[in-house]
Structure 1
């Protein structure tokens, strides 16, 4: 199983730079992009996969300033990545 790394703010700035750096170090990672704007996240995902085709990149939509959104995203992430 690949290591899963959750990056908040992954569609721009430091979050995007971190995604690129992590994949440069290990393109066998599974990056999960936590972003508010799904369209921007899809574009970033496509760009990352173009430069690192063996990586696995998924998206979770979350607004970390909204507690309901954080709870929903955490539930989704738990279902995706934690086997009980």
Structure 2
């Protein structure tokens, strides 16, 4: 399915409106993630592969690796613990 659309202004940014029929035809929703690139004069928009649940845990572990109370930026973490935070 091919659609024609124009760039629209949204707040301080720009957006491509996507017709509802396109969303439905390709089983997309408003939370779908995409990578956008500009290759050889063409805008290329590709869906981001969803992570499997086991991969999510690996990714979270990798992101938090080496993060702890000794290296936290206290300018960013200004409030006291509210629940079960572990910092």
| TM-score using structure 1 length | 0.22
Larger radius of gyration: 2
| TM-score using structure 2 length | 0.21
